[in-house]
Amino acid sequence: MKAITLSTATLILLGTLTVGMADTTETTVEGTVTEQTLTQTEAQTQTREMKQERVRQMNQFKEQLANMTDEEREAAIAEMQAQMQTQTRTRTQTRDQSTKTAEEQASEATQTMTQTRTMTQEHSRTQEMSQTQQMQQMQQMQQRHGADMEVHSTMENMQTPTGTVPTGGIDTNFPQR
């Protein structure tokens, strides 16, 4: 009677593990599908195939367990549970690494955008300063040109009727005393 109870408990445990492993496999495939950007139909097909393979493997394991002694059966179940825990840890670590990688990429992208924005602003400021400097130079040139034009105009007005510019000496056009 004890062997029947143990066998029944073993089968119940294995049935639970089969369903649990199929569910875990689905979660893993969904994560992988996202990373590989497969279409939804391909992902569903792949998930279904993986579930079927996992169930087939579990059924084979159950058949092997049925032919084992109680001690062998307990050892095999303990080994399978250890393997499942290792697989779960590996999946968790892989998922965590993928998350970190995605976060690092997002951080790098943000940093690059910030650097680009800063460089663009600096370039804009430099161009603005250059344009301001050019405008000031143009204004100074225009002011000098205007001043030169005034000097030239004044000099033309100062010319004598004979077309000579007075030198500060005596004008020969007027009689001397």
Task: Give tens-digit pLDDT for 37-94.
Answer: 557 788 788 888 888 888 888 888 888 888 888 888 888 888 888 888 888 888 888 8
Percent of the chain with pLDDT over 90: 6
Residue 163 domain-assigned? no
Domain count, the chain: 1
pLDDT at 164 over 60: no
- pLDDT of amino acid 92: 85
The token pair at 116 is 């680009």
The per-residue pLDDT for 168 is: 55
Domain membership flag for residue 123:
no
**Is 64 inside any structural domain?**
yes
Say if 21 falls within a structural domain: yes
pLDDT > 70? residue 167: no
Segment 158-170 shows an average pLDDT of 56
137-156: per-residue pLDDT in tens?
Answer: 999 998 888 888 888 777 77
- The answer to whether residue 62 sits within a structural domain is yes
Query: For the whole model, what pTM was predicted?
Result: 0.32
- Within a domain: 141: no
**Residue 169 located in a structural domain:** no
Greater confidence (148 vs 174) lies with 148
Give domain status of residue 145, yes or no. no
pLDDT in tens, 14-24: 666 666 555 55
Structural domain boundaries, residue 84: 2-118
